[in-house]
Each structure stands twice: as C-alpha cells, then as structure tokens.
Amino acid sequence: MGSVVPIPIAVLLGLVVGSFLNVVIVRLPEGRSVVFPASHCPRCGRTLHAWENIPVLSWIVLRGRCRGCKAEISSRYPMVELATAALFVLAAAEWGASLQALEACVAAALLVATLYVDVDHLLILDSVLMPAALAGVACALGLGALRESLEGGLVGVGIFGLLFALTRGMGLGFGDVKLAAVLGIFLGPAAAIAAFVVAFLVGAACAVPVLVARRRGGKDVLPLGPFLVVGATVMLYAPGLVWTPYSLYQMFLYRHLGGF
C-alpha cells in the first residue's frame, strides 16, 4: 500500500493526461504527430494560447467556441478530460500513491483513447496498445505479478484469437484480439474473463436496438472494442459490481444444492 494521494492532485493529473489523450484521439488515427504542431483550431488554423488550452476550464470560458472563427469546439474534449480525471481519482482512492495506482492510471489512458478512436474510426491502434502493453508488463514486474499479468494476456489472445478464427474476422477485428491481450495484461486471467463476460453481455444488450435499426435501414456497424473497454473498466475500478453478485449466486447454489 502506498501513501495517500490528495484527490485534487489526482484530478489535476487526470485532466492533464486527458488533455493529451484528446490530441492522441484526434491525431494518431490520421498518422499525425502528437507533438507538432501545437494545438490549433481545426477550422481557422489559429494556434491556441496557453490559457485556451487549459483542460475543461478553457472550454467553459470560451463557451465551446473558437475565439478566432467562432467554430464550435466539440464537448468531446472536456468529456475526455473529465472521464480520465474520474478514473485517476478512482485509482488514487483505491491504491494511494503506489505502483498499482500508476498501473491503473496507465490502463485508464489506454481505455479512454481506445474507446474514442474505435468509436470514431472502427480502429484499434498499435501505437496506443504497444506503449500501454509495455507499461503494463513493467508495472506487473515491479509489483511481482508478472506471471499473472502474462497469463491474463494469454487468456485474452486465446479467447479472442479463437473467436477471430471461428468467425473468420466477421464478428470482430484482429485489433480486438490485440486489445483483449493488452487488457488481460492489466487484469490478470480471472478478472480478464469476467471483463470479457461483461463486454459480451453489454454488447448483446446494445446489439438488439442496432439490429432493430438495421431492419429500418440504419447503420449496422457495432465495434466490439468499446464493450471490452466497458468490461475492463468495471473489473479494474469497481470489480465488486461483478464479484459480489457472483459470490451471492455461489452462496445461493451452495445453500440449495449443497445438500446433494
């Protein structure tokens, strides 16, 4: 256990990392550098002043519009920053100032970037997965949990590699296989399997309205990545949501079938 991290520090770090993730989400899928050029308005090209680049606050002060051309600035930007900050706060509250909290924050960055890139482009980027995987393995090594972490990765590759082979890439992309492996590295085998179950349950629940919409001629593309993100987020930051009902179910089985 580490020492306590004051919540305001976790919020600030989360907002700053979230601000960087906005750049990652917009630029990496287009093959652009995340470093150069400096942040600018995508419409008029005006470079932003430092004060226009403050996470969340600038968006509120500017009322969601570019100061030069008045083009709308998507509410996506503050949302990404707030989501990242929220996950950092959960990590700090659970693990304090520790390697485990750092690992959870790396996972948070991976989850947020993956979610938005996949929703926007139906893409899961190696340039997001690889650094996260390396950081995850390094943290696991430092925590003495390397074996569990690698087993988690293997579980991810095993289950999703099999699904990929069975569906011949129709049901999911190879990016999903790689994402499942990296999530497994962060979760370990048991939590990874639970996360995949959550992903499939939530995905199935969301597929129904999509199928209905398809019958009406709507879009029918439903990427799996966002559901993996949901499953992993639950298992990383609120595993009790799954394990508590699961243990109650086991107790129920034991009570009613234990006599046999």
- Interface residues with Zn ion (CB under 5 A) are 41, 43-44, 66, 68-69, 71
Q: Judged by CB, which is closer to Zn ion: 74, or 247?
A: 74
In the complex, least distance from residue 44 CB atom to Zn ion, rounded to whole angstroms: 3
Q: Judged by CB, which is closer to Zn ion: 66, or 232?
A: 66
Amino acid, res. 20: F
Q: Judged by CB, which is closer to Zn ion: 27, or 46?
A: 46
In the complex, least distance from residue 111 CB atom to Zn ion, rounded to whole angstroms: 30
List CB contacts of 200: < 8 A, sequence separation 6 or more: 227
Q: Judged by CB, which is closer to Zn ion: 68, or 161?
A: 68
Torsion from C-alpha of 228, 182, 122, 160, nearest 10 degrees: -70
Q: Which two tokens stand for residue 251?
A: 């107790």
In the complex, least distance from residue 61 CB atom to Zn ion, rounded to whole angstroms: 15
In the complex, least distance from residue 56 CB atom to Zn ion, rounded to whole angstroms: 19
User: Is 46:57 a contact under the CB 8 Å cutoff?
Assistant: no
List CB contacts of 118: < 8 A, sequence separation 6 or more: 124, 175, 223, 225, 226, 229
What's the burial of 92, exposed, middle or buried (CB within 10 Å: 0-12/13-18/19+)? Answer: buried
Q: From the DSSP assignment, how many helices (H) and strands (E) are in the chain?
A: 10, 0
Q: Look at the block and give the residue holding tokens 């349950």.
A: 201
Q: Quickly count: other Cβ atoms within 10 Å of residue 191's Cβ.
A: 23
Q: Judged by CB, which is closer to Zn ion: 68, or 158?
A: 68
Q: Look at the block and give the residue holding tokens 């990296």.
A: 182
Give the Cα separation of 247 and 108 in Å (integer): 27
In the complex, least distance from residue 69 CB atom to Zn ion, rounded to whole angstroms: 3
In the complex, least distance from residue 74 CB atom to Zn ion, rounded to whole angstroms: 13
In the complex, least distance from residue 45 CB atom to Zn ion, rounded to whole angstroms: 7
Q: Judged by CB, which is closer to Zn ion: 42, or 169?
A: 42
Give the Cα separation of 173 and 8 in Å (integer): 39
Q: Judged by CB, which is closer to Zn ion: 48, or 157?
A: 48
Give the Cα separation of 102 and 156 in Å (integer): 22
